[in-house]
Amino acid sequence: MSDTIETTSWSFLTNHSHVLVVIARNPDARQRDIAELVGLTPGAVNRIVQDLEQAGYLRHERVGRRNRYEVDLERPLRHPLECEHMLAEIIRPLAAS
């Protein structure tokens, strides 16, 4: 078995979690920068940010002409299989790398 990881068409994490990881690493990231890092369009990132804000996982405040984001790491995960775990359990380790 090879030690290299093959690039495939699927991922263990969703685009929503990828956006949260980028924001947790850089709360001042612009949506176009997030889009480039995650591999999405800026419009898709905008929709994901709106989803996350509506669900309470993300907040933003306007600082000058930019947004500064804050991830609420104390929110429970949404799926019934993981709902007893907090967002911090996933995002903190990934944001630290």
Q: Kindly report the pTM of this predicted structure.
A: 0.88
86 pLDDT exceeds 90? yes
2 pLDDT exceeds 60? no
Q: What is the DSSP string of 30-44?
A: -HHHHHHHHT--HHH
**Model confidence pLDDT, tens digit, residues 8-18:** 688 899 999 99
The C-alpha R_g of the chain, in whole angstroms, comes to 14
Task: Give CA–CA dist 63/77, Å, rounded.
Answer: 29
pLDDT (mean) for 67-83: 96
**Model confidence pLDDT, tens digit, residues 17-61:** 999 999 999 999 999 999 999 999 999 999 999 999 999 999 999
| Domains of the chain and any CATH numbers | 15-96 (1.10.10.10)
